[in-house]
């Protein structure tokens, strides 16, 4: 049997891979060239494992689809109102535009369901090649790439099935492009020693709600309640069409708190009177969770390409935390990669010498400029932890008691030099106008503290209990499904887990895999009078949070096989 081979393989059917595939097809049609492309997506459908906010600058969409306003491109709305809110436990304060960071102004931006966008892009890609017999595009949903195939230092393809017959299981490409969120790209980064600085991850938890009132076109971002334990993060509410809203929280995984309980942070967010005003008569439609790469410029790999392989989109981690801009950059990375790949196809040269031009071209353009301008953005909060841990809680407490002016005064009086110093340092680093050289931080897992002491936080009163869900209940809305016998999370050593449990439980804390899980996958059971780690794998939403926060690096999440996992359609 002849081996299965394409010109270009894409691993992960997300926004960056499909943008690259569309661009390649456009170039091949322009040049009347032959081209053979395959896209492998682990979800049962394209878009079923895709989750994002999502509010995006339309520039990349306009570039790839100039007629996007009339060609059926799925848009939930155009941002007509935008603001940043500071939340206490009881009150909400709209931060005036002249104080609010300019990058948070989203007027004119597209409000999207990235899941729906990806589904549409896959469908339209198939339509695009119907009249071009020399261009073949094969879309393989339900087929995860589970292993990279190497020939020495060259990437030759990926393993996509497990029948035991290499000719059936393996797929080869002249160039293999990885747009996944770490499932395989992490192995490439490790093998070729591409890590510049560990990625700094956050986890996003999100629900879609049907509401009584119409909030379409409105975009809110929040700081303050319920994230007042010193962890980095905030909330968002985006008004969608058809009387729906997207509501979510983004929480940094470099927290000292080993038991963040992200789904419950989202439930606490929903308890706030300001949020209750939107959802109290509504109903939840969907739930999901996904990792967010926040490290920015200094967490990018040293190289974006190797012989026969490229990294794009989330595999690179090119989200710009300043303004939370990721979709446009992922699309641009895909289109830029496609330009280089097409040159390689024309020259029949897929060596790193050609493919490495991708990094240069991407970083010399607007993507590189914006990432460089924001190179200290995440580091600013990493180095000024008192902002979220000390000063913000005092400000919002004052907001609840007497108003924002009193809150600001309380924070200042508590530590005048500290508040002024932190404010100045934060502003300088966030602006990117100073140069302090390369930054340093460790893997997120290193910051978890077994002896962490949780701070007491007040809870809003008077919320509608029917709008609040336990994690076990809300996971129902992620529509997870796995085939019998699935074992997609590796636990390398049961003894290491037992030691970790003993360490954290001795201080009265949960182990991070349990405390930070977004779907109640990880639990502690008693077996033979001993505490052991147990996994409800059928709950898993494939977010990889447990892998990131495991203090002992003892867990690995693998891509779900045969279309298993959550269904994020519409999220």
What is the pTM for the complete model shown? Answer: 0.96
Q: Where in the chain is the domain with CATH 3.30.70.20?
A: 471-557
Using CA of residue 492, residue 495, residue 498, residue 504, what is the dihedral sign?
Answer: negative
Q: Name 291's bridge partners.
A: 203
pLDDT for position 279: 97
pLDDT tens-digit series, residues 170-207? 999 999 999 999 899 999 999 999 999 999 999 999 99
Q: Tell me the CATH number of domain 77-112+199-293, given options 3.40.718.10, 3.20.20.210, 3.30.9.90, 3.40.50.970.
A: 3.30.9.90
How far apart are the C-alpha atoms of 505 and 303, rounded to whole Å? 41
Among residues 300, 301, 20, which one has the least CA distance to residue 188?
A: 301
pLDDT surpasses 90 at 228: yes
Architecture of domain 471-557 in this structure: 2-Layer Sandwich (3.30)
pLDDT tens-digit series, residues 362-394? 999 999 999 999 999 999 888 888 888 888 999
Run of H or E including 455 = none
Run of H or E including 427 = helix 416-431
How far apart are the C-alpha atoms of 279 and 273, rounded to whole Å? 10
pLDDT for position 15: 98
How far apart are the C-alpha atoms of 149 and 151, rounded to whole Å? 7
Among residues 40, 5, 63, which one has the least CA distance to residue 338?
A: 63
pLDDT tens-digit series, residues 321-351? 998 899 999 999 999 999 999 999 999 999 9
Among residues 456, 544, 552, which one has the least CA distance to residue 204?
A: 544
**Residue by residue, what is the 3-state secondary structure of 338-366?**
HHHHHHHHHHCCCCHHHHCHHHHHHHHCH
pLDDT tens-digit series, residues 115-138? 999 999 999 999 999 999 999 999
Q: Distance of alpha carbon 53 from its chain centroid, rounded?
A: 9
pLDDT surpasses 80 at 461: yes
pLDDT surpasses 90 at 67: yes
Report phi then psi at 122, rounded to 5: -65, -45
pLDDT surpasses 70 at 1: no
Across residues 9-17, what is the average pLDDT?
A: 98
Q: Distance of alpha carbon 180 from its chain centroid, rounded?
A: 11
Q: Name 72's bridge partners.
A: none
pLDDT for position 60: 98
pLDDT tens-digit series, residues 283-311? 999 999 999 999 999 999 999 999 999 99
Under a CB-based contact definition with an 8 Å cutoff, are residues 296 and 486 in contact? no
Under a CB-based contact definition with an 8 Å cutoff, are residues 570 and 115 in contact? yes
CA angle 214, 14, 129 (to 5 degrees): 105
Q: Tell me the CATH number of domain 4-69+114-198+302-373, given options 3.40.50.720, 3.50.50.60, 3.40.1160.10, 3.40.190.10.
A: 3.50.50.60
pLDDT for position 227: 95
Q: Where in the chain is the domain with CATH 3.30.9.90?
A: 77-112+199-293
Exposure class string for 264-275: b at 16+ Cβ within 10 A, else e:
bbbbbbbbbbbb
Unique residue bearing structure tokens 């708190």 = 257
Across residues 110-119, what is the average pLDDT?
A: 98
Under a CB-based contact definition with an 8 Å cutoff, are residues 276 and 463 in contact? yes
Across residues 255-276, what is the average pLDDT?
A: 97
Report phi then psi at 522, rounded to 5: -95, 130
Q: Where in the chain is the domain with CATH 3.50.50.60?
A: 4-69+114-198+302-373
pLDDT tens-digit series, residues 26-53? 999 999 999 999 999 999 999 999 999 8
pLDDT for position 45: 97
């Amino acid at each position: 049997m002849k081996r299965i081979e394409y010109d270009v393989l894409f691993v992960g059917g997300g926004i960056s891979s499909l943008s690259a595939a569309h661009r390649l097809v456009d170039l091949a049609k322009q040049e009347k060239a032959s081209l053979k492309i395959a896209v492998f997506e682990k979800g049962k459908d394209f878009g079923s494992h895709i989750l994002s906010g999502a509010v995006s600058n339309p520039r990349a969409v306009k570039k790839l689809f100039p007629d996007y306003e009339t060609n059926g491109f799925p848009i939930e709305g155009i941002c007509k109102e935008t603001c940043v809110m500071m939340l206490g436990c009881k009150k909400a304060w709209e931060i005036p535009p002249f104080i609010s960071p300019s990058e948070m102004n989203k007027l004119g931006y597209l409000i999207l369901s990235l899941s729906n966008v990806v589904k549409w892009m896959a469908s339209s890609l198939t339509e695009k090649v119907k009249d071009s017999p020399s261009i073949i595009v094969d879309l393989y949903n339900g087929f995860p790439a589970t292993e990279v195939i190497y020939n020495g230092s060259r990437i030759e393809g990926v393993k996509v099935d497990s029948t035991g017959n290499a000719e059936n299981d393996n797929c080869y490409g002249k160039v293999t492009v990885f747009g996944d969120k770490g499932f395989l790209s992490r192995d490439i980064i490790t093998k070729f020693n591409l890590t510049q600085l560990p990625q700094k991850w956050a986890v996003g938890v999100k629900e879609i709600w049907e509401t009584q009132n119409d909030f379409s076109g409105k975009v809110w971002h929040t700081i303050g309640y319920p994230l007042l334990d010193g962890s980095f993060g905030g909330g968002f509410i985006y008004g969608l069409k058809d009387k729906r809203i997207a509501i979510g929280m983004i929480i940094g995984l470099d927290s000292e708190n080993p038991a963040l309980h992200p789904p419950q942070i989202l439930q606490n967010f929903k308890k706030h009177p300001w949020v209750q005003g939107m959802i109290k008569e509504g109903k939840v439609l969907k739930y999901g969770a996904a990792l967010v790469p926040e490290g920015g410029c200094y967490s990018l790999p040293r190289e974006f390409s190797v012989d026969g392989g490229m990294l794009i989109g989330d595999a690179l981690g090119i989200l710009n935390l300043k303004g939370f801009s990721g979709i446009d950059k992922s699309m641009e990375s895909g289109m830029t990669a496609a330009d280089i790949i097409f040159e390689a196809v024309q020259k029949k040269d897929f060596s790193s010498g050609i493919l490495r031009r991708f990094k240069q071209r991407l970083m010399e353009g607007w993507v590189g400029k914006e990432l460089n301008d924001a190179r200290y953005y995440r580091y600013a909060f990493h180095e000024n932890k008192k902002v979220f841990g000390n000063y913000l809680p005092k400000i919002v407490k004052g907001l609840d008691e007497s108003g924002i002016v009193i809150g600001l005064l309380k924070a200042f009086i508590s530590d005048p030099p500290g508040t002024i110093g932190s404010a100045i340092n934060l502003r300088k680093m966030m602006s990117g106008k100073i140069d302090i050289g390369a930054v340093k931080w460790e893997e997120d897992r290193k910051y978890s503290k077994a002896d962490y002491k949780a701070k007491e936080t007040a809870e809003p009163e008077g919320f509608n209990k029917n709008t609040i869900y336990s994690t076990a209940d809300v996971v129902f809305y992620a529509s997870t499904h796995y085939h019998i016998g699935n074992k997609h999370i590796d636990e390398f050593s049961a003894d290491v887990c037992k030691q970790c449990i003993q360490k954290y439980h001795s201080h009265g804390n949960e182990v991070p895999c349990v405390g930070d899980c977004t779907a109640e996958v990880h639990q502690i059971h008693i077996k033979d009078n001993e505490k052991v780690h147990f996994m409800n794998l059928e709950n898993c939403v494939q977010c990889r949070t447990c892998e990131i926060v495991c203090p002992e690096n003892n867990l690995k999440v693998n891509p779900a096989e045969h279309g298993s996992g959550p269904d994020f359609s519409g999220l």
